[in-house]
Amino acid sequence: MSVMGCENYIALAEMADLAGWKDECRRAGRLSVPEPNKRGQEIEIVLKSTNDPHLHGFDTEKSRRRRLTSDVFRVSALVYLHSVISGDQPQCPGITSNIT
């Protein structure tokens, strides 16, 4: 969806999958901390890359609003991603920097 500014259908599905996988591993007692971090970094790369031509180009009011809306969705997704990776840790740098 171009208004989102990133391939959210991939990123959001991957975040939900990561959250489910992490919970399943934790319940089974086989959670390896580096694995969610690695998977989270791959998702973060997708979220931070913007290839939407609507976000670049003519600086109209519509494109400015679209860019700002995309930014809000992107950083919200990054907050969720870091919450999945780090858990309920509001002072986690990945959470605080994206909230700011």
What are the residue ranges spanned by the domains of the chain? 2-99
| Sequence-distant contacts of 13-18: CB under 8 A, at least 24 apart | 14/39, 14/42, 14/43, 14/46, 15/43, 15/77, 15/80, 15/81, 15/84, 18/43, 18/81, 18/84, 18/85
Q: Across all residues in the chain, what is the average pLDDT?
A: 81
* Comparison of pLDDT for 83 and 52, the residue scoring more: 83
40 close to 82: Cβ distance less than 8 angstroms: yes
Region 19-37: mean pLDDT is: 92
Q: Model pTM? A: 0.76
**Residue 27 pLDDT exceeds 90:** yes
Residue 99: predicted pLDDT = 86
The beta strand positions in the chain, using DSSP E, are: none
